[in-house]
Amino acid sequence: MKKIKKTGKSDKKPKKELFQSPRGMADILPVQQPWWDKLIGIGQELAGLYDFGRIETPILEFAGIFEKSLGEATEVLEKQMFIVKTKGGDRLAMRPETTASVMRAYFQHHLSYGQQPFKVYSFGPMFRYEHPQAGRFRQFHQFNFDIIGDTDPLYDAQIILLFWRFLQLLKIPGLTPQVNTVGCRVCRQHYLRRLKEYYGKLKNKICKDCQRRLEINPLRLFDCKEEQCLPLKAAAPNMLDNLCQACNSHFRAVLEHLEENKFPYEPNPFLVRGLDYYSRTFFEIFGGSEKTAIAAGGRYDYLSEMIGPRLVPAVGGALGMERVIEIIKSESLFIFKAPVKIYFITIGEQAKKCGLRVMEELRHAGVKIAESLGKDSLKAQLGAADKMKAKLVLIFGQKEVFEETIIIRDMASGAQENIALSRVVEEVKKRLR
């Protein structure tokens, strides 16, 4: 007989490694859902008031849509996009945003023949391969509003006012909306030349990061928070002073609409967005004690040309759902009442079997019931009912099955009553009133 070699390892079962959700991708558990429901509910209510229809586009799109639309920033986004290669050889991307998807749908379904402007809202998960740091997720959610097919500055103002209203209804404290313009292709190019000229002369005075920004995307120079760069930024030429006539009057009209609505915006000439498809109005709303950016958007007249057959003006924005929920949770801005629960207890096999029918009857009558039928003892089940703060408990045992009755117990007073099974719906409803 062969001798079995001892490995020296213990006989204990190897510890099974538990799966975790992927990095930067979170579960949203039942206990967290009331906040999500609240946010979505308010968003949908506003959508109705402002006449936006809901659109849902696929999570996956042809990667080219995002690569084309994100222009200069493509290189950054290429690294940040989750790319899926299909067996058929298609290169699909998990959407990093929905703006391009909505515009794609607009052309694909010839929506320009319908009512204009085309006003839609959407919400759902987006994906970016970010470094998961505080508040940055690889799967995150946005609530979007988009208006396609009109250049009128009134719509720029309407989008800003809508996001403002949204955040106000969510009771977010410390809201600060900032507004700027990024001009059009003509004046932006002219402005970028001036900006490069200005910083080109100061090359030795700016930080290493800024020297790099100057080469790649000079607008990003305004992101710098280094002390040596701040005074230079303050004296830098800004977009506002370099607008062409058309952009200037468009932006002035947006501001006039905002002022007419007593909208407390802060002009910020250094508020920029690197994406090529943005034109003219750009806004960002900050809020909460940390003053985080929670909603942003603007006009994106050029996107249509980048991914579609012709120019169709559009304006829209997105609200970061995780960030908003974090604020409303941490500031306890909403208190959700636990739903009144009736707890159903069965004792013995026979009661369990018949109990299901009684519960079905109650649920059919619109009564919310909780139960844990796996627990056998009365004590354990009563404990569970107490833990979930049930108002009433129904106890169904062998004797009750036989007599066609049920015990109804008020958890607060401890008072119990034996009632006929045929009257259970009526009695429960009476006591819940």
Nearest to 274 by CA among 195, 358, 218, 208: 218
Tokens representing 248? 């200037």
126 by Cβ neighbours in 10 Å (0-12 / 13-18 / 19+) ranks as: buried
> Shortest Cβ distance from residue 209 to Zn ion (Å)?
5
- How many CB atoms within 10 Å of residue 150? 18
Q: Which is nearer to Zn ion, 247 or 325 (CB)?
A: 247
Q: How far is CA 56 from the centre of its chain?
A: 14
Burial profile 47-68: b = 16 or more Cβ within 10 angstroms, e = fewer: beebebeebebebbbebebbbb
Cα dihedral 81/181/179/235 (nearest 10): 100
Binding site for Zn ion (CB under 5 A): 183-184, 187, 207, 210, 224, 226, 229, 244, 247
Separation CA 153–CA 301 (nearest Å): 12
| Nearest approach, Cβ of residue 111 and Zn ion (Å) | 27
Nearest to Zn ion of 161, 224 (CB atom): 224
Identity of the residue, 173 or 200, whose beta carbon is nearer to Zn ion in the bound complex? 200
To Zn ion, the closest distance from the beta carbon of 208 in angstroms equals 8
Q: Which helix (H) or strand (E) holds 60?
A: strand 60-62
Residue among 57 and 181 whose Cβ is closer to Zn ion: 181
Of 184 and 428, which has the nearer Cβ to Zn ion? 184
Q: Of 208 and 337, which CB lies nearer to Zn ion in the complex structure?
A: 208
Minimum Å gap between C-beta 173 and Zn ion is 31
In contact, 226 and 234? CB cutoff 8 Å = no
Minimum distance from CB of 181 to Zn ion (Å)? Answer: 9
Closest distance between Zn ion and the C-beta of residue 129, in Å? 26
* Residue 104 · residue 307 · CB < 8 Å: yes
Angle at 315 between CA 310 and CA 318, to 5 degrees: 125
Nearer to Zn ion, 298 or 320 (CB): 298
Residue 169 CA to residue 334 CA, distance in Å, equals 11
Separation of alpha carbons 289 and 125, rounded Å: 25
Cβ proximity to Zn ion, 20 vs 245, nearer residue: 245
Query: Omega before 132 cis (within 30°)?
Result: no
Min dist. Cβ of residue 228 to Zn ion (A): 7
Q: How far is the CB of 133 from Zn ion (least distance, A)?
A: 21
